Amino acid sequence: MHPISIYLAASLALWSGAGLAQQSNAPADSKGGIVKWVDDKGVTHYGDSIPPEYANRSNTMLNKSGRVVRRNEAFKPGAAAPTPDEELEKQQAEQQRRDAVLLASYTTEQEIDLAKERSTQMDESMIKGLEQRATGARERLAMHEKSAAPYVSKKKPLPPDLQQDIDGVKGELSRIDEQIVQKRKDIEETKQKFDRDKQRFHELKQMSSTKVAPPR
């Protein structure tokens, strides 16, 4: 299996693991993403927020791409909170797992740069497609506004069909702009992630190279 495939598979496992779990008793709010929860009948729901009656249940926060960004575990009465030492041990174990995935996925920093480039190519291609759609929409809007000019100059209301066309194109342009902004944000987040991985990979290699060889 290619190193990038290994890394992606292992990363998915880590995202879905308990290492991302957090405790929260407040109603979950997606803040622009998606919240997932299960009702009393075991049916899974998705939405912007959790109904009050399910506020104390376990839930999962997802971003707009469907990626898990946080897990909120239901509070269990009588359950002891982890001690500082236990929490530190948990964090260290999680870091060790991530380090192992990183070292198993790449052999050089150049491979990480290549993986970053490949991971952003799809979003960059989608941005180009959206920009082409926006160009076409602006051309249609200019045509509609030209048709509307005589009415505007005479301060007369536009025909309903023409007004609807203008409003529809403006709405389309607004949605396209939002999608472009989101894709650029996704690209930046992806780059930052790979940059962090590269920095950590460099640190691990440095630590490995400075270890004193055992005496023979």
Point out which residues pair with 60 in neighbouring strands: 36, 71
Is residue 190's pLDDT more than 50?
yes
Q: Are 45 and 36 in contact (CB under 8 A)?
A: yes
Point out which residues pair with 83 in neighbouring strands: none
Question: Mean pLDDT throughout 203-209?
Answer: 88
Tell me the CB-side half-sphere exposure of residue 58, using CA atoms within 13 A. 9
How many CB atoms lie under 10 A from the CB of residue 82? 12
46-60, 83-97, 108-122, 179-193: the lowest-pLDDT one: 46-60
Residue with tokens 């870091």: 95
Backbone angles phi and psi of 30, in degrees to 5: -70, -25
d(CA 213, CA 216): 9
**The pLDDT of residue 62:** 73
d(CA 49, CA 103): 38
Is residue 60 exposed (0-12), middle (13-18) or buried (19+ Cβ within 10 Å)?
Answer: buried
Length of the chain: 216
**The pLDDT of residue 6:** 41
d(CA 109, CA 199): 9
Backbone angles phi and psi of 127, in degrees to 5: -65, -45
Between 166 and 210, the more confident residue is 166
Question: Mean pLDDT throughout 46-62?
Answer: 75
**The pLDDT of residue 65:** 65
**The pLDDT of residue 214:** 56
pLDDT band with cut points at 50, 70 and 90 for residue 58: confident
Point out which residues pair with 38 in neighbouring strands: 44
**The pLDDT of residue 177:** 97
Look up the pTM and report it.
0.55
Q: 59-91 pLDDT, tens per residue?
A: 787 776 667 777 776 655 555 677 888 888 888
Between 101 and 39, the more confident residue is 101
| Helix (H) or strand (E) segment spanning residue 37 | strand 34-38
